[in-house]
Amino acid sequence: MKEQLSSLKKEFEAQLKHVSSLLQLEALEQTIFGRKAGAFTTLAKQMKDVATEQKKAIGEMMNTVRLKIVKELEEKREALQREEMKKIAETESIDVTEPHLPKEAHGHMHPMSQVEIELSELFRSMGFMVLDGPELESDYFNFEALNIPPSHPARDSHDTFFIKDHPEWVMRTHTSPVQVRAMRQYGAPLRAVVPGRVFRNESTDASHEHTFTQLEGLVVDTDISIADIIGVMKGLLTGILKREVEVRLRPGYFPFVEPGFELDMKCLVCDGKGCNVCKHTGWVEMMPCGLVHPEVLKAGGLDPDVYSGFAFGLGSMRLVMQKYGIEDIRHFQSGDLRFLKQF
Ligand code: PHE
C-alpha cells in the first residue's frame, strides 16, 4: 500500500509537468480523485482491508499524500489562471478616450420589471419562495390539473395560442399551473409566488392585452382559512401602495378554488366616496382568490384531509396601472420611448 501511494504521487507529479491548460488539469484531477475510477479513490477504498495495526500509519500517509496532491493541483490551477489573465490583458484593451454616452441614451428597467422585483422582495420578506414556470405549458397543467376538464365552460374565457399539430401544448393562460407544479416539487407546507407572462386570445382594448402579466400566490399548510387570505392581501397592497388599505371579499367562481372570491380594495382616489376610477362604487376590483380546491391539492400530490391552502392571481399590470395612473394597458408593450421614459 505504501509503495502504491508513493508511486501514485510520483506518477502524478510527472504528469503535472506536462499540463498546460485548465482543461488538462481537470482531466488529471479526475484520474486521481474521480469518484468511480480515480487512482487515489481506488486506494482509499482498499483501506478497509488493511491490517488493524497498520491502519493508523497508512491512514496518516494517505492523508499527507492527498493534501500534497491537492496543494499542487491548486498551485498549478492558480498559475494557469494567471497566465490566462495575462493573455487576455495583452490582447484586449480599453479605450479610455471614448466619449460617454449621453445620459438620455442610458436605458432603465421597464416599469413592470421594477414592480415585479418590488413584489418579489415584499413576498420574500413574508417567507415566500419566488418561483418560475414554463410559458409554453401542457394542457394538463394549464387546465386539467386545475379541475378544468376538456368540456368545461371555464375554458371559453381562456382561449389562447395553440401550437400547430400539438394540441397538448398551449401558451399558458394564467400562472395557476405553477400551483400544481410547486406542490409536486416542494410538498407542504408551502409559500410561493410566481410572477410571469400569460397569454389569451383577446381582442385588445384599453384594458385587455393578448400578452399580460400575473403574480400567482399559493400558501399550503395544515390550517389555512379565509382570514389568512385577507391578512396576506392587506400586507401586499399596503406594501406596494405604501398606505393603509381597506379590503372586502365578494363571491367569485374559479374551478380550482372553493370557495372562490374577488377581492376589492376601497378606492384610494376618492376614499370610498365614489369617483370615475371606481365607477362610483367606492371599491376597485383587485384580485381573484380562494381556498385551494381539494382536487387541485390531490393533483399536487397532497392529502386534502390533512392540508388546506389559499391561492390568488394578481393582475400585476392592472396594479401598476393603478399605482401610476396609466390609462391604457397597451402602452406597456408598445415600445414607445415617450411612455417608458416617464419611469
Ligand atoms: N388564474 C385565475 C385567472 O387567471 C385567477 C385566480 C388565481 C383565481 C388564483 C383564483 C385563485 O383567471
Structure confidence at residue 265 (pLDDT): 87
Average model confidence (pLDDT) across the chain: 91
> Closest Cα to residue 134, out of 85, 199, 76?
199
With 0.85 as the threshold, say if the pTM is over it.
no
**pLDDT tens readout for residues 298-331:** 999 999 999 999 999 998 888 888 788 788 899 9
The residue extents of the domains of the chain are 2-90, 111-340
**pLDDT tens readout for residues 173-228:** 999 999 999 999 999 999 999 999 999 998 888 878 999 999 999 999 999 999 99
**pLDDT tens readout for residues 140-179:** 999 999 999 999 998 988 999 888 899 899 999 999 999 9
Q: Is residue 258 a known part of a binding site?
A: yes
- Label each residue of the chain as H, E or C: CHHHHHHHHHHHHHHHHHCCCHHHHHHHHHHHHCCCCCHHHHHHHHHHHCCHHHHHHHHHHHHHHHHHHHHHHHHHHHHHHHHHHHHHHHHCCCCCCCCCCCHHHCCCCCHHHHHHHHHHHHHHHCCCEECCCCCEEEHHHHCHHHCCCCCCHHHHHHCCCEECCEEEEEECCCCCHHHHHHHHHHCCCEEEEEEEEEECCCCCECCECCEEEEEEEEEEECCCCHHHHHHHHHHHHHHHHCCCCCEEEEECCCCCEEEEEEEEEECCCCCCCCCCCCCCCCEEEEEEEEEECHHHHHHCCCCCCCCEEEEEEECHHHHHHHHHCCCCHHHCCCCCHHHHCCC
CA 160 to chain centre: 23
CATH 3.60.10.10 is the classification of domain 111-340: no
Question: Would you say the CB of residue 254 lies under 6 angstroms from ligand 1?
Answer: yes
Question: Would you say the CB of residue 148 lies under 6 angstroms from ligand 1?
Answer: no
How many Å apart are CA 335 and CA 256, to the nearest integer? 35
How many Å apart are CA 157 and CA 165, to the nearest integer? 22
Question: Would you say the CB of residue 313 lies under 6 angstroms from ligand 1?
Answer: yes
CB atoms within 10 A of CB 98: 7
Task: Select from 159, 254, 314 the residue to mutate for testing ligand 1; criterion: most ligand atoms less than 8 Å from CB.
Answer: 254
Alpha carbon of 254 to ligand 1 centroid (Å): 7
Average pLDDT over residues 41-69: 91
Structure confidence at residue 335 (pLDDT): 92
pLDDT higher at 293 or 49: 293
Question: Would you say the CB of residue 314 lies under 6 angstroms from ligand 1?
Answer: no
Q: Is the pLDDT of residue 49 over 80?
A: yes
* N-terminal to C-terminal alpha carbon distance within the chain: 71
Ligand 1 atom with minimal separation from the 313 CA: 7
**pLDDT tens readout for residues 244-280:** 888 899 999 999 999 999 999 888 878 889 887 778 9
Distance (Å) of CA 19 to CA 24, 77, 78, 261: 6, 10, 13, 67
Structure confidence at residue 186 (pLDDT): 97
Average pLDDT over residues 130-140: 96
CB 101 within 8 A of CB 42: no
